[in-house]
Amino acid sequence: MVIFKKTEDIKQYISLKNTTGSKTGFIPTLGALHDGHLSLIEKARQDGMLVVCSIFLNPTQFNDKKDLEKYPVSTDDDIALLVKAGCDVLFLPSVDEIYPGGADNMPTYDFGYLDTILEGANRPGHFKGVGQVVSRLLEIVEPDNLYMGQKDYQQCMVVRKLLELTGRNNINLLICPTTREADGLAMSSRNRRLTEPQRAIAAVIYQCLVSIESKQNNAELSVVKKECEDLLAAKGFVPEYIALADARNLTLLDSYEQDTPMVALIAAKIGEIRLIDNLLLTDSR
Ligand code: AMP
């Protein structure tokens, strides 16, 4: 694996590879890598891509500065995992490299409705930061395929919109399934911060998502949501939202809707740690 810290160097390397016919598959990350990230690397490898991963703890997408300060950093371990996973290129830029004139001078994008709900409503400025960093990284890497995790469902929709807004319709956005621990907890870098007792009950978020799915044909959504709220609270979680939405555009739903593809989404905090997860509902009728 080749590691680049400078924009010009990675650009030159990738364009040279492109002249010999290679296609670039890009996986942007914040680091503290786990099997969820590695599943994206594996998918890009299977697709025959030149696999490019970035590790950049982007300050502008952290609306909560404490969350940024406490975000796990394990670059040496990450590099070892990427080598083992068969990643070809790692981009490890500094903040100045990504935002040469300062982040305030970077273009921002209007995600409209998507920025007003769920993560957008609960983390003001978060998607503005995501838009800034992803557009800059795409400008540098110019990938053919962009691999992102369904774990961050709303982020995938924001990035889809970003590709539209920036005219980068030539990039294929591939949304990859969420990798879970054996008990169902979605893998996340933030899980590292859970204490043992917190970790032992953290799969309750996934259990709630499964119950929203399994009760879709025999219960009122409001009742199921209240049960989830109570269950999360009983385990010590403070739910931020428990939502059902149209999976195509994230229009929030007040009730289960037949013939609408649906996604259930939850954000909840335990202590200072905020976890999110979602589940696409399959029709069990
Ligand atoms: P992050 O480092 O959290 O920004 O994540 C980098 C990429 O990995 C994003 O596209 C995430 O959606 C994806 N990702 C994070 N966790 C998982 C997971 N458990 N399964 C699949 N993809 C994930």
Q: What's the residue count for the chain?
A: 285
59 and 91 fall within a common domain? yes
Q: Ligand 1 pocket test: which of 29, 138, 190 has the largest number of ligand atoms within 8 Å of its C-beta?
A: 29
> Is residue 65 included in any domain, yes or no?
yes
154 and 222 fall within a common domain? no
Residue with CA at minimum distance from ligand 1 atom 12: 149
148 and 68 fall within a common domain? yes
User: Ligand 1: residues within 6 Å at CB?
Assistant: 29-30, 36-37, 39-40, 148-149, 151-152, 176, 178-179, 186-189
Closest CA to 278 of 258, 263, 260: 263
Q: Is the pLDDT of residue 175 over 80?
A: yes
Model confidence band, residue 261 (pLDDT cutoffs 50, 70, 90) = very high
- In terms of pTM, does the model score above 0.85? yes
Q: 215 is written with which tokens? A: 């009760």
The mean pLDDT value for 250-267 works out to 97
Residue with CA at minimum distance from ligand 1 atom 5: 29
How does pLDDT run across 51-77, given as a tens digit for each residue? Answer: 999 999 999 999 999 999 999 999 999
How does pLDDT run across 85-140, given as a tens digit for each residue? Answer: 999 999 999 999 999 999 999 999 999 999 999 999 999 999 999 999 999 999 99
> Is residue 77 included in any domain, yes or no?
yes
pLDDT score of 229:
98
User: Helical H runs in 202-285?
Assistant: 204-214, 221-234
Model confidence band, residue 284 (pLDDT cutoffs 50, 70, 90) = low
Q: What is the SS3 assignment for 189?
A: helix
Average pLDDT of the chain? 97
How does pLDDT run across 9-46, given as a tens digit for each residue? Answer: 999 999 999 999 999 999 999 999 999 999 999 999 99
Count structural domains, the chain.
Answer: 2
> Is residue 133 included in any domain, yes or no?
yes
42 and 109 fall within a common domain? yes
Q: How far apart are CA 1 and CA 7, in angstroms?
A: 17
Which of residues 176, 205, 231 is at a domain's end?
A: 176
Q: Is the pLDDT of residue 239 over 80?
A: yes
Q: 16 is written with which tokens? A: 């040279």
> Is residue 246 included in any domain, yes or no?
yes
How does pLDDT run across 156-167, given as a tens digit for each residue? Answer: 999 999 999 999
Q: What is the SS3 assignment for 285?
A: coil
The mean pLDDT value for 218-246 works out to 98
- Domain coverage including residue 53: 2-176
Model confidence band, residue 283 (pLDDT cutoffs 50, 70, 90) = confident
Q: How far apart are CA 283 and CA 285, in angstroms?
A: 6
Which of residues 128, 143, 176 is at a domain's end?
A: 176
Give the CATH number for residue 220: 3.30.1300.10
Give the CATH number for residue 76: 3.40.50.620
What is the side-by-side order of every strand in the sheet holding 273-280?
238-246, 262-270, 273-280
Residue in this structure with the two tokens 């790692």, named with its chain if needed: 90
Which of residues 176, 206, 235 is at a domain's end?
A: 176
> What is the atom index within ligand 1 of the atom nearest the CA of 149?
12
pLDDT score of 285:
53
Q: Ligand 1 pocket test: which of 123, 152, 181 has the largest number of ligand atoms within 8 Å of its C-beta?
A: 152
18 and 129 fall within a common domain? yes
